[in-house]
Amino acid sequence: MARSRSGVRRVGATIGDVASQAGVSLSTVSRVMNGSKTVDAALAERVREAAASLGYTASPLARSLVLGTTQTIAVVVPDLGNPTFQGALRGLSDGASEQGYHVLVADSHEQADEERVLALDARRRCDGIVLCAPRMPEEELAALLPLLAPAVVINRIPEPPAVGDGQEASSVPSVVADYEAGLTGLLQHLYSLGHRKMLYLAGSSQASSNQSRLAAIREFQASNPDAAIATSPCGVGFEDGHGSAQVVVDSGATAVLAFNDLVAMGLLSALGERGIRVPQDVSVTGFDDIPFARYTTPPLTTATIPVEQLGQQAWHRLSALLNGETPERDLSFGPQVVPRGSTGPAPER
């Protein structure tokens, strides 16, 4: 009638149980379980039997404590609901689990201030971390990263630490998509279709990837003075795009560059409701090439971000770090423009 002590606490066999059942010392059991060759074959067999009969497995917790490695990494993302981060998470998870690592996931809900504590907290429970914090201020990130090492940053390039500040210049590797190049590609695509008056629906202004897009626009306008590219604050989700239909109409632009595919899809839907034809009346581009982009009507012209590879590469970097190797720094994916049905020639005026 003995009940387990707390209800929560599952006991499970301990190494001591195995030892006494097999009539050997703890050390011997440990040696057997870890495949040490310095143990007599007969004894080893007896130990293995005892372990099997008790269903024994070494407690990862205890092992972690003594070994100093948890075989776990953490990943912090701004929004688990966003396909971009889902893809990255997936790539990361695949890579990690292939090498026997586990993945702890934390969602900051786009709350830049939560990111810091979340990352710190998660990091303490594992061996390394992949951080995706697009909104965090530059200085805060710079201050945070040393505390997180080994770490890898996704989709932004952290300020390299000041030289000669005591920290050996072991700055944190990053894997990023080149948003600037991607948007430039889209701009060129639209320009070559004859569009001169365009509208950019911006994401959150602090986000690093938004800055990159703005830079691309400035640059493009400098070299193509006949193009007029307006910017309107929008957001990063369906609703934001859906809600921007009026702005788009009012702008008189013939082409719209949405911050990402989600925004573009929302916009597409709203335009359809108003009877505005895409691409005959207005062209629309997205960004990211999420799996759904090719299934919109019309299919969405967008710039490809290989999110899963982003995650995979992040894992490679982190894995190298964990093994004491030095990873290549700063991989940058150059997005490809994928022309689909949502863009077409600028309408005659």
Partner DNA sequence: CTGGCGTGAGAAAACGCTTTCCGCCAACAT
Partner DNA sequence: ATGTTGGCGGAAAGCGTTTTCTCACGCCAG
Task: Select the binding partner of residue 16 from DNA, a copy of itself, none (C-beta < 5 to 8 A, by kind).
Answer: DNA
CA neighbor of 282 nearest in space, from 190, 204, 214:
190
Residue carrying structure tokens 């809600």: 243
The reply to whether 35 sits near a copy of itself by the rule CB under 8 A is no
**Selected binder of a copy of itself within 25, 27, 36, 59 (CB under 8 A):** 59
Query: Environment class of residue 153 by beta-carbon count within 10 Å: exposed (0-12), middle (13-18) or buried (19+)?
Result: buried
| Site residues, DNA (CB under 7 A) | 11, 14-16, 23-31, 33-34, 38-40, 43, 56-59, 61-63, 65-68
Task: Select the binding partner of residue 222 from a copy of itself, DNA, none (C-beta < 5 to 8 A, by kind).
Answer: none
Minimal distance in Å, beta carbon 262 to a copy of itself?
A: 9
Which residue stretches of the chain are H helix? 15-22, 26-33, 41-54, 60-67, 83-98, 112-124, 138-148, 179-192, 208-223, 238-242, 245-251, 261-273, 307-322
Quick one: 40 or 49, whose CB is closer to DNA? 40
CB contact at 8 A, 63 and 127: no
> Residue 333 forms beta bridges with which residues?
177
Spatial distance between the Cα atoms of 290 and 262, rounded to a whole number of angstroms: 9
Task: Select the binding partner of residue 221 from DNA, a copy of itself, none (C-beta < 5 to 8 A, by kind).
Answer: none
The reply to whether 94 sits near a copy of itself by the rule CB under 8 A is yes
Quick one: 219 or 281, whose CB is closer to a copy of itself? 281
Minimal distance in Å, beta carbon 123 to DNA?
A: 14
Identify how many contiguous H helices and E strands the chain contains and give both numbers: 13, 12
Quick one: 2 or 61, whose CB is closer to DNA? 61
**Selected binder of a copy of itself within 13, 39, 43, 105 (CB under 8 A):** 105
The reply to whether 216 sits near a copy of itself by the rule CB under 8 A is no
Minimal distance in Å, beta carbon 223 to a copy of itself?
A: 35
The 141-160 contact track toward a copy of itself, x by CB under 8 A, reads: ------x-xx----------
Q: What is the dihedral of CA 260, 263, 264, 269, to 10 degrees?
A: 160
Q: Which contacts qualify for 25-30: CB closer than 8 Å, 24 or more apart?
A: 30/58
Rule CB under 8 A: which of 229-268 touch a copy of itself?
238, 265-266, 268
- The Cα angle at residue 321 between residues 318 and 326, in degrees rounded to 5: 120
How many residues comprise the chain? 349
In this structure, how many other beta carbons lie within 10 angstroms of the beta carbon of residue 89?
Answer: 20
Contact residues for a copy of itself (CB under 8 A)? 6-10, 55, 57, 59-62, 64-65, 68-70, 72, 80-81, 86-87, 89-90, 93-94, 97, 102-107, 109, 121-122, 124-125, 127, 147, 149-150, 238, 265-266, 268-269, 272, 291-292, 294-297, 299, 322-324
